[in-house]
């Protein structure tokens, strides 16, 4: 480098342009944002929306997972063993034997558990030793008869809060008798179940003396002993107990916790998928927004590069922009995202409640503002924004300096790009196939998600290859519209083509995600409706309140079932009951069910995936039916056997069951009753005689059983409830679809603005030549329609494939049950048309935003 004179001084040391970069950062980056307020608002708004959506999903996911964990740990962290009977209550003799078996190690706490009504709210009542009930009460046993666990349904009844000291009164009804208890709202150390009241046994005995037999026994480690117990101890205790009474089952916290952990993992996976999908779509939005911002700076970058700014300096300038936009956008996103967090959290919790924890009350969500979470949120927003700005910054780094009015571009072979895209396309296709095969053969859901990601890449490449051809011929395609042909011909320029491809990719990706989810939901809904119609084909469904409790389900006694059968207008009553069993170390439900009427008529209308219903084998106990998820977990197929009560029973049919994802074994009612020595039913289905009035029969059934103890539903009501359950389960999917649609449209709008900005000078010229703003908007709308057609085609194909992968691979691997693929063509066509119309609207809007200038703008380039 030669020495250069600057007046009297040498410029030997003038090698750093750092000061200039700082100057440019101040006057270039910040001022550019200030001088184009509309564009700045748009870009920062897009970042804020993206950050808000992303944060809402992350924070809501975190809060609901924590809430889930807290709720489940409430039932599994008592540090006790629970002993309960499979088919009957626990007698005083059983309690005494248990005490002898465990010795001084544990304290024996017998519990009486049953359902009662507090007003119209069903409440689980636990009768327990008075000293234990009040052990956490600082003031000792006072005037209160018991406590209630402070969960919202009960608190609303007694208008009390956990912090309240004074006891409150609550009226309970059970077995036709009612009485008023004095209780305190307090967290109980033993259990935290929803709608639970813990009463002193003596108070309970005064109210219901006949409720004296115990339903379970807690084995509480004594304080002076080590509070923990090993699995070996539990195993020894189980073995000792099995010699004495095989109906008694010991359940440890660790096992309950393990079951809860598997549920929590499934829920966490759902949340993770939601967060990842939101991250992908919001990432695209932010990246698009940053590109729009950077695009306007590219010409200036070229000038600066010519004047001597290095590639690093140019990228630093754009990164500063990204940091500023990210910081402001993230702050706005955090501010605007907070209400969104609450909405998404409640959707998630509602879904989780119905799917995973029907018998538990969720702990309150911890959504309060916390410095750590806010800081993390801000950091995530910054990272996403800077990552979004990184690509334009790298582009700026490689900007070619130019001296001429028009950049002289070294010829780049577009055909080589097409070859590269073609090779990548084939690679992605092979990758999808390999990942799906691996997912199925290894039963690893991760491979299915990998296939979904590769499918996304395949879709993008397909769109890129298609759009280059279509946009290149755009002016020819619509040559018959002479008034706008001049404008549209401009779209065939290379710079326009690149931007069109980007906007089309955004639309295709959004449509694919929407259709994929829509196909999954439609298939699920239709399959579920068909399944309900086939499985619940009787006229009335009766179930005692509390029948879903896995530890101690409420049942209908044989006398109650007989009373139902005696109601006038009832033709037949079909009984069902079940409990958890271990088969080959796998825990699943064994159900006894009547699938024939007393005359031997076959009433099994359920859908079989393999095998068939054989009334003779099933009714006589020489064969069992397996649910789909049960067959998968036990790895059994038709003809293979399962050992139940020491007998090998062949599997005669595999059927669809959407009620228990852990699997069900179904056996005939009579053999089940013989095995369990118990005729009580968990639920019954009733068929009416011809001409039976559903309202009258329902009323009479409620009268003979007691309306407070049972839920009596007509099949229509049952289907409505299942529909409602379905809707709440998939509420989060609706939110996700809304987010995807919003982000897709925002992304398309931004890409369209970028597209029209790229062609600003061309449009200014035609405005100068006499084209009105209205005609510009119409031309843009037509162009939007034409350019989005390949997006709709590619998006529909990719969405169909995505839906198929979700149904055929992700769903069975996640839940263990299969769905039939149902396409609602009207939905697909409407979505496609809606996307085309929205694209037209966005294009016209984008053109309106960019070309607000008057025709005079065509004369000046600066």
Partner 1 sequence: MNFLQITSLSKKYGEGEGAVHALRGVSFGVSRGEFVALSGPSGCGKSSLLSIGGLVMSPSSGGISIAGEKIDFENEQGLARYRRTLLGYVFQYFNLLPTLTAEENITVTPLLAGVSSRDARMRARELLEQVGLSHRCEHRPHQLSGGEMQRVAVCRALAHRPHLILADEPTGNLDTKSGHAVLDLLKRAACEGAAVIMATHREDSLAWCGRVIRLHDGELIDDECIRFRDGHADG
Give the interface with partner 1 as residue ranges (CB under 8 A). 1-2, 4-7, 11, 13-17, 19-20, 23-24, 27-28, 31-32, 35, 300, 303-311, 400-405, 408, 410-411, 860-862
Tell me the closest approach of the beta carbon of residue 34 to partner 1, in angstroms: 9
227 sits in the region (left: phi over 0; alpha: psi -120 to 50; else beta) called alpha
- How big is the chain by its Cα radius of gyration, in Å? 34
For partner 1, give the closer residue by CB, 306 or 647: 306
Q: How far apart, in whole angstroms, are the C-alpha atoms of residue 263 and residue 599?
A: 42
Q: Using an 8 Å Cβ cutoff, are 317 and 778 in contact?
A: no
For partner 1, give the closer residue by CB, 27 or 383: 27
Tell me the closest approach of the beta carbon of residue 757 to partner 1, in angstroms: 14
For partner 1, give the closer residue by CB, 5 or 369: 5
DSSP line for 619-648: HTTS-EEEEHHHHHHHT--TT-EEEETTEE
Tell me the closest approach of the beta carbon of residue 830 to partner 1, in angstroms: 45
Identify the residue whose tokens are 């936009």.
325
- Give the SS3 label for residue 686: strand
Tell me the closest approach of the beta carbon of residue 20 to partner 1, in angstroms: 4
DSSP line for 252-292: EHHHHHHHHHHHHHHHHHHHHHHHHHHHHHHHHHHHHHHHH
Q: How far apart, in whole angstroms, are the C-alpha atoms of residue 141 and residue 202?
A: 13
* H/E run at residue 48: helix 37-76
Tell me the closest approach of the beta carbon of residue 842 to partner 1, in angstroms: 27
- Cα angle for residues 519, 523, 609 (degrees, 5° grid): 140
Mode of pairing for the β-strands spanning 540-544 and 641-644: unpaired
Q: Using an 8 Å Cβ cutoff, are 689 and 571 in contact?
A: yes
Q: How far apart, in whole angstroms, are the C-alpha atoms of residue 4 and residue 20?
A: 19
For partner 1, give the closer residue by CB, 139 or 299: 299
What are the CA-CA distances from residue 777 to residues 502, 593, 766, 843, 853 (Å)? 20, 67, 13, 8, 13
Tell me the closest approach of the beta carbon of residue 337 to partner 1, in angstroms: 31
Tell me the closest approach of the beta carbon of residue 489 to partner 1, in angstroms: 23
For partner 1, give the closer residue by CB, 104 or 410: 410
Neighbours of 129 (CB within 10 A): 17
Tell me the closest approach of the beta carbon of residue 800 to partner 1, in angstroms: 42
Residues paired with 191 in a beta bridge: none
3-state DSSP helix/strand/coil percent for the chain, to nearest 5?
A: 60, 15, 25
Tell me the closest approach of the beta carbon of residue 494 to partner 1, in angstroms: 15
For partner 1, give the closer residue by CB, 153 or 308: 308
For partner 1, give the closer residue by CB, 135 or 306: 306
For partner 1, give the closer residue by CB, 147 or 314: 314
Q: Tokens at residue 428, please?
A: 């992605």
Single out the residue of 388, 326, 392, 288 nearest to residue 743, CA to CA: 288
For partner 1, give the closer residue by CB, 36 or 849: 36
Tell me the closest approach of the beta carbon of residue 458 to partner 1, in angstroms: 32
- Give the SS3 label for residue 178: strand
Tell me the closest approach of the beta carbon of residue 420 to partner 1, in angstroms: 18
For partner 1, give the closer residue by CB, 31 or 236: 31
Tell me the closest approach of the beta carbon of residue 32 to partner 1, in angstroms: 5
For partner 1, give the closer residue by CB, 537 or 765: 765
- Cα angle for residues 662, 668, 674 (degrees, 5° grid): 105
- Give the SS3 label for residue 367: coil
Burial 51-84, CB ≥16 within 10 A → b, else e: bbbbbbbbbbbbbbbebbbbbbbbbbbbebbbbb
For partner 1, give the closer residue by CB, 31 or 442: 31
Burial 654-673, CB ≥16 within 10 A → b, else e: bbbbbebbbbbbbbbbebbb
* H/E run at residue 194: none
Q: How far apart, in whole angstroms, are the C-alpha atoms of residue 703 and residue 698?
A: 9
* H/E run at residue 234: helix 231-244
Tell me the closest approach of the beta carbon of residue 2 to partner 1, in angstroms: 4
For partner 1, give the closer residue by CB, 15 or 210: 15
For partner 1, give the closer residue by CB, 15 or 369: 15
Single out the residue of 18, 358, 403 nearest to residue 194, CA to CA: 358
Q: How far apart, in whole angstroms, are the C-alpha atoms of residue 342 and residue 59?
A: 9
* H/E run at residue 82: strand 81-85
Q: Tokens at residue 573, please?
A: 């009553």
Tell me the closest approach of the beta carbon of residue 767 to partner 1, in angstroms: 17
For partner 1, give the closer residue by CB, 728 or 853: 853
Tell me the closest approach of the beta carbon of residue 37 to partner 1, in angstroms: 13
For partner 1, give the closer residue by CB, 3 or 120: 3
Tell me the closest approach of the beta carbon of residue 424 to partner 1, in angstroms: 25
């Amino acid at each position: 480098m030669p020495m250069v004179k600057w007046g009297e001084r040498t410029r030997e040391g003038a090698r750093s342009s750092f000061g200039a970069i700082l100057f440019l950062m101040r006057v270039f980056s910040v001022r550019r944002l200030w001088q184009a307020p509309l564009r700045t608002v748009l870009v920062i708004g897009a970042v804020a929306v993206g950050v808000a959506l992303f944060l809402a999903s992350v924070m809501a996911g975190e809060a609901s997972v924590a809430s889930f964990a807290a709720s489940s740990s409430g039932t599994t962290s008592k540090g006790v063993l629970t002993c309960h009977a499979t088919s009957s209550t626990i007698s005083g003799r059983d309690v005494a034997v248990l005490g002898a078996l465990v010795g001084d190690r544990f304290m024996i706490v017998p519990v009486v558990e049953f359902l009662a009504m507090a007003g119209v709210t069903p409440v689980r009542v636990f009768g327990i030793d008075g000293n234990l009930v009040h052990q956490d009460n600082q003031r000792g046993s006072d005037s209160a008869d018991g406590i209630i666990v402070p969960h919202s349904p009960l608190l609303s009844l007694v208008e009390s809060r956990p912090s309240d000291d004074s006891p409150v009164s609550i009226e309970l009804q059970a077995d036709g008798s009612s009485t008023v208890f004095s209780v305190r709202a307090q967290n109980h150390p033993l259990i935290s179940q929803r709608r639970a009241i813990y009463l002193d046994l003596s108070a309970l005995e005064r109210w219901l003396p006949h409720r004296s037999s115990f339903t379970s026994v807690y084995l509480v480690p004594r304080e002076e002993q080590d509070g923990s117990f090993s699995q070996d101890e539990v195993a020894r205790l189980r073995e000792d107990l099995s010699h004495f009474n095989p109906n008694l089952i010991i359940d440890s916290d660790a096992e309950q916790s393990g079951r809860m952990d598997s549920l929590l993992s499934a829920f966490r996976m759902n949340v993770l998928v939601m967060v990842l999908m939101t991250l992908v779509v919001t990432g695209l939005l932010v990246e698009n927004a940053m590109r729009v911002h950077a695009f306007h700076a590219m010409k200036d970058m070229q000038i600066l590069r010519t004047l001597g700014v290095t590639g690093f300096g140019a990228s630093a300038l754009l990164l500063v922009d990204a940091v500023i936009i990210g910081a402001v956008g993230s702050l706005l996103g955090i501010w605007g995202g907070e209400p969104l967090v609450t909405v998404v959290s409640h959707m998630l919790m509602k879904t989780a409640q119905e799917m995973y924890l029907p018998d538990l009350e969720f702990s309150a969500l911890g959504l309060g503002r916390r410095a750590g979470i806010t800081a993390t949120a801000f950091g995530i927003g910054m990272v996403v924004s800077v990552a979004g700005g990184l690509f334009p910054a790298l582009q700026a780094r490689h900007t070619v300096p130019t001296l001429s009015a028009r950049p002289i571009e070294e010829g780049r072979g577009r055909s080589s790009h097409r070859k590269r895209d073609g090779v990548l396309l084939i690679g992605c296709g092979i990758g999808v196939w390999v990942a799906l095969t691996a997912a199925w053969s290894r039963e690893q859901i991760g491979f299915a998600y990998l296939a979904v990601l590769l499918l996304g890449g395949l879709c993008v490449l397909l769109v890129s290859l298609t759009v280059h051809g279509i946009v290149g011929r755009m002016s020819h395609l619509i040559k018959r519209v002479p008034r706008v042909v001049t404008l549209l011909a401009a779209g065939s320029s290379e710079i326009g083509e690149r931007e069109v491809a980007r906007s089309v990719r955004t639309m295709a990706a959004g449509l694919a995600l929407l259709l994929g989810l829509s196909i999954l939901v439609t298939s699920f809904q239709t399959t579920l409706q068909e399944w309900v119609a086939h499985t619940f084909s009787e006229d009335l469904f009766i179930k005692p309140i509390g029948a879903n409790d896995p530890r101690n389900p409420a049942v209908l006694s044989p006398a109650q079932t007989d009373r139902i059968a005696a109601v006038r207008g009832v033709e037949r009553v079909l009984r069902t009951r079940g409990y958890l069993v271990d088969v080959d170390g796998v825990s699943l439900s064994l159900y006894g069910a009547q699938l024939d009427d007393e005359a031997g008529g076959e009433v099994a209308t359920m859908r079989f995936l393999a095998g068939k219903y054989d009334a003779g084998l099933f009714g006589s106990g020489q064969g069992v039916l397996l649910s789909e998820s049960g067959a998968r977990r036990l790895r059994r197929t038709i003809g293979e056997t399962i050992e139940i009560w020491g007998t090998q029973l062949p599997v005669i049919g595999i059927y669809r069951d959407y009620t228990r994802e852990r699997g069900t074994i179904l056996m005939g009612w009579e053999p089940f009753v013989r095995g369990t020595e118990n005729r009580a039913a968990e639920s019954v289905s009733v068929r009416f005689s011809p001409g039976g009035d559903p309202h009258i029969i329902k009323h009479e059934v409620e009268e003979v059983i007691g309306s407070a103890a049972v839920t009596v539903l007509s099949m229509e009501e049952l289907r409505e409830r299942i529909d409602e359950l379905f809707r709440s389960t998939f509420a989060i999917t609706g939110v996700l679809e809304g987010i995807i649609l919003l982000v897709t449209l925002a992304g398309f709008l931004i890409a369209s603005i970028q597209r029209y900005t790229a062609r600003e000078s061309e449009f200014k010229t035609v405005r100068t030549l006499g084209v009105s703003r209205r005609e510009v908007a119409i031309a843009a709308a037509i162009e939007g329609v034409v350019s989005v057609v390949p997006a709709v085609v590619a998006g529909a194909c990719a969405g169909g494939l995505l839906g198929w992968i979700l149904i055929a691979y992700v769903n069975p691997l996640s839940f263990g049950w299969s769905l039939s693929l149902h396409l609602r063509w009207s939905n697909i066509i409407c979505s496609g048309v809606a996307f085309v119309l929205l694209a037209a609207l966005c294009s016209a809007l984008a053109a309106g935003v960019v070309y607000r200038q008057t025709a005079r703008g065509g004369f000046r380039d600066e």
